[in-house]
Chains A and B, each alone.
Chain A
Amino acid sequence: DQQVKQNSPSLSVQEGRISILNCDYTNSMFDYFLWYKKYPAEGPTFLISISSIKDKNEDGRFTVFLNKSAKHLSLHIVPSQPGDSAVYFCAARETSGSRLTFGEGTQLTVNP
Chain B
Amino acid sequence: NAGVMQNPRHLVRRRGQEARLRCSPMKGHSHVYWYRQLPEEGLKFMVYLQKENIIDESGMPKERFSAEFPKEGPSILRIQQVVRGDSAAYFCASSADSLNTEAFFGQGTRLTVV
Contact = CB atoms under 8 A, between A and B. Distances in A.
A43 B4 contact: yes
Nearest to B47: A99
Nearest to A44: B105
Nearest to A91: B43
B2 interface: no
What is the predominant secondary structure among interface residues of chain A facing chain B? strand
Given A43-B4, A43-B108, A104-B41, A98 B31 contact: yes
A101 B106 CA distance: 17
Contacts, number: 65
B45 A99 contact: yes
A9 to B, nearest CB: 9
A4 B43 CA distance: 11
Interface string A81-96: 0000000010101000
Nearest to A105: B42
Interface string A30-62: 001010100001111110010000000000000
Interface residues of A, number: 24
B69 interface: no
Contacts of B105: 36, 43-45
A112 interface: no
A29 interface: no
Interface of B: 4, 6, 31, 33, 35, 40-45, 48, 55-56, 58-59, 91, 93, 95, 98-108, 110
18 contacts: A4-B42, A6-B42, A34-B102, A43-B105, A43-B106, A46-B103, A49-B101, A97-B56, A98-B31, A98-B56, A99-B33, A99-B48, A99-B56, A99-B58, A100-B35, A100-B45, A100-B100, A102-B43
